[in-house]
Structure 1
Amino acid sequence: MDPLAEILLRRRRLVALRLLAAGDTPVLPREPSSPRGESRVIASPTLRQGVQALEAQLLEYGFLLSPGLRDALGRLDAGELTRAGRRLAQAAPAELGGHVEHVPMFRGFPGSVPADTAEFFVRRMFAVLLQHPEQPCVLCGKAGAVHAVSPCAHLVCHACWDGSDFAGCPICHRRIDPADPFLRPSAAPAATDAPLPGHRLVLLSLCEDPLAVSGEILDTLLDRRTPLSPQDRADVVTLVRAGGPEAAGRLPERIPVRETRAAVLAALLPVLDAAAVRDLLDRHVDTATDVLRLLYALMGGDPGLRTRPARRASLPRPVRRALLARLDALALPSVVEDLHRHAEAWKRMAEVLHPHEFHRRHPTVALAFAVLRGTPLTGELGEAMLERAAGYPEVLRVEGARLRLHTFAGRVEAALRAGEPALPLLAARPGELVRRLGQVLGTGEKGAAEAVGAAAPRVAPGVLIAALGGLRTPPGGTRLFFPRGDTARAWAQPDERPELPSGEITPVLAALTAEMLRRAAALPPLGRVLLDEGLADLIAPTAERSDSTALVRMPRGSVQPLPRDERLRLFLHWAEPGDERVDLDLSLALYDARWNFVGLCDYTDLRLGRTAAVHSGDLTSAPEPLGASEFVDLDVTELRGLGGRYAVPIVFSFDGVPFDRLVRGFAGFMSRPAGLFDPRAVEQRFDLTGSARIHLPLVADLWSRTMRWTDLRQNGTSSWHDVAGNYRRLALLGSAMEDAYGLAERVTLWEVACWHAAARAGEVLTRRPDGSVRRYARRAGEDVAGFADRLLRREDDGPWRGPVDGADLAALVHADVELPAGSQLYALYPWSVDTDRVDLLDAADLVGLLAPEPAG
């Protein structure tokens, strides 16, 4: 599938038919679509059958066609419809995991479709409606009041279509009975063999201008103020490359996140001439570490510098010269310090850059690498370098014939150890000041609140949010640490920090919160905001660089209910590279309420209890093309009956082969699947990626019937490949996650959404877990901080019994509310969102809106 079409489908639920239908011929010209809510009659019976067969195929996976998309499909010729239909039918279920064993329903589509496609589609639609009636109208998007039009079964509602006045279906224009426009089931549909989608249906719409929409997606990702997830970063690279050399001129003046910046530059430099390369570097590279990130990205490595590139690659001479020239234009103290911050990486990259080849042309670079390597400075050149270094005594000191660096971090640590004031030093680096607030407050140094108030306007929102959560969480319990790396490697230790005086913490917390509210107030005002109180279960993301690519994108540590079904099915699929056997194992560890080990279900013991957990059997290789799959069925009631409270699923690489060597690998869980693997029943699906060999995705609390998303990946050791030998280590990680996120007072998406609402809106509606709605209105004389505090304490103005539509901004768990065109929406489960009408936000976007204004 065309990468651009795949991104549009996955991110916006938009179908770029011009890309899907194109074969070896040029891309199809754009054709005008019908006005919204109208559709043309598909004249050809063969094409009509083909479109209806595709509708039935997509309905099997929980997708509906919008009128405009259905109309556009009907205008294709047979070959174009065949290509577009096959590609769409393969791509739509891919994020659910159905692409692996997926076989098109009609292999010869559209030539081999059954004679009566209408009856086939009608039976499927009724199977859906009888068990899942809350479906969206394909015309207006409203859910809960749809009916199947007679006789074609397309879904519309009374609100936007009057069947007694219009003699044809508004979707396909087939004649109907005006006296009885909606179908009634004439026979029990239970006999149908069509399984049911596990979620409300997802509406697919036509993308008439793929380049314009992809540009909007790229702009949104480039403006993100927190590090991107691997999937988002890969999308950025794809979108930039699709734009070709012209994409360089369309970049924003400033890309806030340096890792994103490096990925973009690495995608563009190979296709630009020397002058354009120099211009791009001058605009977007302002530190030596930016150059290192770019070098990593050019060599296929991680621009976050968490892992080395697989190999060092030589650079084209113009690119190498441009990078050296850009380094040389930077201030010497910052270059020297940046090189020492990543000393080993720079020593390796020196073999690629050859910085001493042009030491006269680039004296700053030559001097910085001489300090890094401890090179003796002798002769005429050495004396010139020593003379220049003498101008920076606060940074460089002479030791014989060598220069040594006195780093900023070293000066701060020395001040803290000596009990000397550190705030004046840290004030020069606002981000470092906020990150070290705990240390500074522990010294009792005065003026911290004032220093924070002055520094905070220049600090990224993720850093402020992390500081807020860390300061207001009292010591005790367990601390969880995530060292830098391409995996979410974690280790835990008891929290033995000394307790800080509340009198010192309170003004600092107030200064941090005031800054977030100030930034929110500077955003465009809103009329009404709609919030779900369930957002309090979702952690506000501060970075996504190690997040797994997942169907439901939950920030690590967040909690969500388990499906209501008593039986769940875990699944794992992988395919090994041709030169290496890979044995992955899907396992389950069960613990009681005090994290004492109760039992396991894995390749060593296929049953836990009678049917509490049942394993499908151990596969020890996964050759292409089929790969291999393993399953574990769970019975929640029986697991609890065994004394279990915490169920911990885990994926091991038995052979120690890292996940990034796989051709493909993913896992997840389903509820109520029809058959062995049912994409429509998938509740969560995530990729197995990175250099990790172990993945612990979640901890399920069987007592509260909730799950905490952990997304932990570990590298493991030779003995770290099964539950039996490592159940104590798993218990430590699971209990540490419960302590670190369940007991800590971290900033949640509820708090972030309340900041937006209090600072930008005069009216706020909130939905409680029981479905009731409460109203908040800004009171006379109530400032932003007071309104925000009242929202967070849930001191409302009374119940709201009117409609909850009409919000300019909504932050919800489930996207089940009709919003006006042009509104913004964050939803954890955005299945039914019409992205043509609503601007869909990620959790990181909600946080990123609170970014500081660019300096200068």
Structure 2
Amino acid sequence: MVHRLEPLVVRHAHRLPCPAGPAGEGAVAARQFDAALISVGFKLSGELLTRLSGLPEGTVVDTAVRTLDTVREMVGDHVRHNVYFIDFPANVPDTYDFWTRCITEALADDATRESVLEQLSDGVVDLLTLPSYGRYQHSYTEMLGHHEELIAAAGDRMTVLHAGGDAGAEVTALYLALAGSSTPLGEDTLRDLEVLAEACVGGPQPSEIPVRENRAVINRARLRTGSEPLLDTVTDVLRLACAVSGGDVTLLEPTRFRGLSRPVRRALLAGLDSVVAAAPAKLADVHAHREEFKRLGERLHPHEYPQWPHAADVFAVARGEKKARSLDSLVEELLGAHDVTGAVGLLKSAPGKLFRALDRLLRMALTQEERFAVVAAAEEVAPQVAGRVLLSVREHLHNRAKETGERRVFVNRLGRAWVTEDTRQGVLPSFRLRLTTVLDAELRRRLPAPGHLLIDPAVLDVALPLSGKAVSSGLGVLPRGSLSTIDGELLRFFVYWKQKSRDTDYDLSALMLDNDYRTVSWLSYTNLAEVDGEHSGDITEAPDGASEFINVRLGAVRGTFIVPQVNLFSGEGFEEVEESFFGFMLREGEQQGRPFEARTVRMKSELRGPGRVALPLAFRRGEDGQWRAKWLHLYLKGSPAANRVEGNQVSVATLLRGIVEREQLTVRYLTGLMDAATTTLWDGEKVPDGPVTFIGLQRPDGLHPESRILTPENLRDLIPA
């Protein structure tokens, strides 16, 4: 059981639980393990290498096998990445010359000659009907024979695995960290929490579970083991019912409730009854998910349990048979009557809602007295508002200061993005300044004193992870809006997908834009080679998996932006395929190797979004000539089929402008509020001898054991509760 959960610890914490066992002579096996890890861009910390060296050889080998499988999958090296053009990036042909060659080969084939001649008579040839187009013409092994071994470079990625404790303790620590997160988890991480909750339900539990989705998956584990679920709202019960039915605990997608066993029905009804009995006003929460409660009622049969009358009231409200005014409806009534002061007084009972409505309230306020009432209420309830809400409002007010009249970009929790005109009135600068001062003071009060603060400068422009939603899981992935420096001469994108049941064609493309977001050029299957770089060739089906690559020479790019994208041309969507992921590599100018080399991978993220065009990130060349990545995590709706880079240039440019010109709150902002005894910018060399609070992209080796360590894997812990 513990071995099954070890990969979760490695993925989420970059820690390797140390196996138990007697002393042994495992030094040789440990060094071999380290060498194997280095080949895929990982390595053992000094402490971990020493620990493994003192264990029996067989124990080390077993640990190595399990761990290598995990890290290869983390970086995308668990599959075979073939290319259509066997010498890629060398000898990529001109697009039209290549198409002509495919037609010529089809004409020479007795099986396809007649069909191609008929198409030529109409003046249009469907490339997908040509036998040599879109399908690998050589094996993976043959492709490897055309490429030299990777030449190691100082800039190759090296991710360090650190020594963990006992496997059981590491699993428990990870469970407590995820379960007690103050920010929502991403979809993949939430699934991991489900697995951990099942294993840890009988052990230590977090003192608080602030995120309701986390509570739902933990409650399901508690229900299965006979423990009482943790419920304090009617929506908690609805989420638990969704979890038991294998549905969406975020309530974004409708759940088809299963037939529930009598013990589960009794637990859910008893939970509803106790919640409403303790606070009848919570019946008003039913309106937000009225249809879901009606369907749940059909499964729970509340009329069979007269001992829980308050539970029956929940379903009576859902059916419209019992009235329960919601806070939102009361507030809307007051605002409809232009009673801003009355609405503010009502919202003080729901501090989070008040803060989310601040902009609207200030815009609706017609007098100075009303505006002062809004700000005074915010000052009064600020200590009761969740930290991530305070930070979201602080970021919002910062960007409202621009007042440029530009379009607004909206991104929902699934990463779907859209643009609309900004028709809002401005917020008076004096009130905006007063609110930001209140927010800064409250956030500063909540942040723990870090003692000696040791900061890796590379992390300062990472956006604060206010939510894990719509941020793909993977290696080297940063929150939307983050900036990271790109060092290297060759930038290589890759996409891999494996279809589940029908032919699926994904097209990797890269759009180059100038400083005004106008198209300069692009690389795709319709434009295989440019002065900027090369495309590896179009693959149109993936029964055994398929890869496409784009190689970009950064010094030759004729523009300011590079926007890689994955277009769904036909077949299964990103959420339907068996597997799909995107990433990029960085290489030195003369660095040879295969098209895919794990140790040069800087980022690999899962493609699991609702649209048909994926925009993982963009690259921008600054005035200093330095390239930087801007993390997007966006999905465009796209067309039902045949999405191409040529068809979405305007929408991509519009979205990019909105994201680039919006300023996110970053680690730099939050560390600036910390009351540190000493602050040191880490130079990548020796670390201090004493305990520190380290914030960086990767944990250094040799930190004092009592240090607090914050890296992208647990940066959510930086967000105050």
Query: What TM-score does the superposition give when structure 1 sets the normalisation length?
Result: 0.69
Q: C-alpha distance in 2, partners of 1:563/1:347?
A: 56
Cross-structure match for 1:424: 345
The change in CA–CA distance for 1:753 and 1:240 in structure 2 (over 3 A counts) is same
Residue 766 of structure 1 deviates from its aligned partner by: 4.2
Q: C-alpha distance in 2, partners of 1:236/1:427?
A: 34
Residue 356 of structure 1 deviates from its aligned partner by: 3.4
Which letter maps to 2:326? T
The change in CA–CA distance for 1:584 and 1:546 in structure 2 (over 3 A counts) is same
Residue 678 of structure 1 deviates from its aligned partner by: 0.2
Cross-structure match for 1:468: 394
1:497 aligns with 2:415: no
The change in CA–CA distance for 1:355 and 1:428 in structure 2 (over 3 A counts) is same
The change in CA–CA distance for 1:200 and 1:707 in structure 2 (over 3 A counts) is closer
Q: Determine helix, strand or coil for the equivalent of 1:370.
A: helix
CA contact (8 A) 2:463 2:665 kept: yes
Q: C-alpha distance in 1, partners of 2:648/2:4?
A: 41
1:479 aligns with 2:408: yes
CA contact (8 A) 2:416 2:610 kept: no
Pick the aligned partner of 1:755 from 645, 650, 673: 673
Residue 708 of structure 1 deviates from its aligned partner by: 0.6
Q: C-alpha distance in 1, partners of 2:688/2:30?
A: 36
Worse overlay, 680-689 or 207-216: 207-216
The change in CA–CA distance for 1:86 and 1:505 in structure 2 (over 3 A counts) is closer
Cross-structure match for 1:285: 231
CA contact (8 A) 1:478 1:739 kept: no
Residue 51 of structure 1 deviates from its aligned partner by: 4.9
The change in CA–CA distance for 1:635 and 1:318 in structure 2 (over 3 A counts) is same
Cross-structure match for 1:619: 539
Q: C-alpha distance in 1, partners of 2:617/2:390?
A: 27
Cross-structure match for 2:145: none
The change in CA–CA distance for 1:593 and 1:194 in structure 2 (over 3 A counts) is closer
CA contact (8 A) 1:196 1:680 kept: no
CA contact (8 A) 1:13 1:204 kept: yes
Q: How far does the alpha carbon of each residue in 1:259-286 deviate from its partner, in whole angstroms, 9 at most, with x for none?
A: 111111123322x23xx2xxx22xx111
Q: Determine helix, strand or coil for the equivalent of 2:647.
A: coil
Structure 1 segments (4+ residues) deviating >6 Å = 191-194
The change in CA–CA distance for 1:443 and 1:305 in structure 2 (over 3 A counts) is same
Which letter maps to 1:615? H
Residue 72 of structure 1 deviates from its aligned partner by: 3.8
The change in CA–CA distance for 1:193 and 1:629 in structure 2 (over 3 A counts) is closer
Report matched runs for 1:251-262 at 5 Å: 251-262=205-216
Residue 77 of structure 1 deviates from its aligned partner by: 5.8
CA contact (8 A) 2:157 2:602 kept: no
CA contact (8 A) 1:615 1:632 kept: yes
Q: Determine helix, strand or coil for the equivalent of 1:457.
A: helix
The change in CA–CA distance for 1:621 and 1:200 in structure 2 (over 3 A counts) is closer
Q: C-alpha distance in 2, partners of 1:337/1:357?
A: 24
CA contact (8 A) 2:508 2:564 kept: yes
Cross-structure match for 2:182: 225
The change in CA–CA distance for 1:14 and 1:843 in structure 2 (over 3 A counts) is closer
Residue 514 of structure 1 deviates from its aligned partner by: 1.5
Which letter maps to 2:15? L
Q: C-alpha distance in 1, partners of 2:472/2:267?
A: 35
Pick the aligned partner of 2:220 from 258, 266, 283: 266
Q: Determine helix, strand or coil for the equivalent of 1:440.
A: helix
Q: Determine helix, strand or coil for the equivalent of 2:184.
A: coil
Cross-structure match for 1:808: 692
The change in CA–CA distance for 1:575 and 1:267 in structure 2 (over 3 A counts) is farther
Q: Determine helix, strand or coil for the equivalent of 1:538.
A: coil
Residue 536 of structure 1 deviates from its aligned partner by: 4.3
Cross-structure match for 1:438: 359
Q: Determine helix, strand or coil for the equivalent of 2:303.
A: coil
Report matched runs for 1:600-619 at 5 Å: 600-607=522-529, 609=530, 611-619=531-539
Pick the aligned partner of 2:472 from 548, 558, 576: 548
Q: How far does the alpha carbon of each residue in 1:178-234 deviate from its partner, in whole angstroms, 9 at most, with x for none?
A: xxxxxxxxxxxxx98664585454444554510012111211222211111223322
Pick the aligned partner of 2:569 from 642, 654, 657: 654
Pick the aligned partner of 1:576 from 499, 516, 522: 499
Q: C-alpha distance in 2, partners of 1:424/1:56?
A: 65
Which letter maps to 2:295? R
CA contact (8 A) 2:158 2:599 kept: no
Cross-structure match for 1:121: none
CA contact (8 A) 1:288 1:334 kept: no
Residue 413 of structure 1 deviates from its aligned partner by: 1.7
Q: Determine helix, strand or coil for the equivalent of 2:646.
A: coil
Q: C-alpha distance in 2, partners of 1:729/1:261?
A: 38
The root-mean-square deviation of aligned C-alpha atoms, in Å, is 2.9
Q: C-alpha distance in 2, partners of 1:263/1:772?
A: 40
Worse overlay, 502-511 or 811-820: 811-820
Cross-structure match for 1:455: 381
Residue 467 of structure 1 deviates from its aligned partner by: 0.8
Q: C-alpha distance in 2, partners of 1:762/1:75?
A: 41
Which letter maps to 1:724? E
Worse overlay, 708-717 or 365-374: 365-374
Which letter maps to 2:347? L
Pick the aligned partner of 2:21 from 20, 31, 34: 31
CA contact (8 A) 2:693 2:707 kept: yes
Residue 513 of structure 1 deviates from its aligned partner by: 1.6
The change in CA–CA distance for 1:766 and 1:59 in structure 2 (over 3 A counts) is closer
The change in CA–CA distance for 1:350 and 1:580 in structure 2 (over 3 A counts) is farther
CA contact (8 A) 2:157 2:601 kept: no
Which letter maps to 2:585? M
Cross-structure match for 2:512: 590
Q: How far does the alpha carbon of each residue in 1:786-805 deviate from its partner, in whole angstroms, 9 at most, with x for none?
A: xxxxxxxxxxxxxxxx9866
Gapped regions of structure 2 (runs ≥ 5): 83-147
Cross-structure match for 2:709: 825
Report matched runs for 1:696-711 at 5 Å: 696-703=615-622, 704-711=626-633
CA contact (8 A) 2:691 2:706 kept: no
Q: Determine helix, strand or coil for the equivalent of 2:662.
A: helix
The change in CA–CA distance for 1:352 and 1:198 in structure 2 (over 3 A counts) is farther
CA contact (8 A) 2:186 2:470 kept: yes
The change in CA–CA distance for 1:441 and 1:98 in structure 2 (over 3 A counts) is same
Q: Determine helix, strand or coil for the equivalent of 1:246.
A: coil
The change in CA–CA distance for 1:299 and 1:826 in structure 2 (over 3 A counts) is same
1:765 aligns with 2:680: yes
The change in CA–CA distance for 1:407 and 1:54 in structure 2 (over 3 A counts) is closer
1:408 aligns with 2:327: yes
1:95 aligns with 2:74: yes
Q: C-alpha distance in 1, partners of 2:184/2:585?
A: 30
1:512 aligns with 2:434: no
Q: How far does the alpha carbon of each residue in 1:286-310 deviate from its partner, in whole angstroms, 9 at most, with x for none?
A: 101111111222222222112223x
Q: C-alpha distance in 2, partners of 1:816/1:329?
A: 50
Worse overlay, 337-346 or 205-214: 205-214
1:216 aligns with 2:100: no
Residue 660 of structure 1 deviates from its aligned partner by: 2.2
Higher relative contact order (CA 8 A, sep 6+): 2
Gapped regions of structure 1 (runs ≥ 5): 19-29, 34-39, 43-47, 104-190, 376-402, 774-801, 829-840, 852-856
1:246 aligns with 2:214: no
Report matched runs for 1:150-189 at 5 Å: none
Q: C-alpha distance in 2, partners of 1:201/1:556?
A: 24
Q: Which has the larger radius of gyration?
A: 1
Q: Determine helix, strand or coil for the equivalent of 2:304.
A: coil
Q: Determine helix, strand or coil for the equivalent of 2:575.
A: helix
The change in CA–CA distance for 1:503 and 1:418 in structure 2 (over 3 A counts) is same
Report matched runs for 1:788-799 at 5 Å: none
Cross-structure match for 1:158: none
Cross-structure match for 2:261: 316
Q: C-alpha distance in 1, partners of 2:670/2:557?
A: 37
The change in CA–CA distance for 1:537 and 1:266 in structure 2 (over 3 A counts) is same
